[in-house]
A and B are shown apart, each in its own frame.
Chain A
């Protein structure tokens, strides 16, 4: 069974559209994350979220918003997509907000045309 899964694996869309990426973890973890990996392969944290609080990396535009319908899911919503949003987005989870190990999903490659 996949521990952290993401859908879709690939997403191609036009500038200005609104899109969502889904993430699910079946590990029973309390904390989930979103990371962005750009074309230069740098991985950057975007959000950290548990049922108590959302921590946002200050560099993330407010067009990006995480939504958590339940503890096992943290979806990423992106409004008014821009060319610079093209990247691979990784979801991750950890046991709690202080856990050492983060488990990453397989990634979603977003291409904005």
Chain B
């Protein structure tokens, strides 16, 4: 699976959009971009995933650049409860064991 690079930490004001970047310059054509988050002392939580088109669900939007070498997770109206570590994961759709490989993630702090 391709390696990802994320900033270690970011701040965001409550109510504003949080834009979390992820670089995955070695991504291959059959690899998806997944986002999970981990709120303090809880298990990781799936947010969204995509291949090349932009995706949106009730939690967030995922914007993938045309060359697919980077992506941005957008939380449109961040709340204090969105404070968490956000993980960008790149992997093929069906790897042996369906395993996820987590990197260091971005620690997002939403401030009042």
Contacts and interface: CB of A to CB of B under 8 A. Distances in A.
Given A44-B102, A45-B100, A90 B34 contact: no
A97 B97 contact: yes
A55 B43 contact: no
B104 interface: yes
Nearest to B104: A42
Size band of the A side of the interface?
20 to 34
A104 B44 contact: yes
Nearest to B105: A41
Interface residues of B, number: 22
B12 to A, nearest CB: 20
A99 B49 CA distance: 12
B102 A103 contact: no
Contacts of A104: 42-45
A42 B102 contact: yes
Nearest to A103: B46
A106 B38 CA distance: 10
Nearest to B98: A97
Contacts of B97: 45, 47-48, 55, 97
A99 B98 contact: yes
B98 A94 contact: yes
Contacts of B85: 41
Interface string B6-41: 000000000000000000000000001010001001
Given A42-B104, A98-B93, A100-B49, A105 B98 contact: no
Nearest to B45: A104
Interface of A: 4, 31, 33, 35, 41-45, 47-48, 55, 57, 90, 92, 94, 97-107
Interface of B: 32, 34, 38, 41-46, 49, 85, 87, 93-94, 96-102, 104
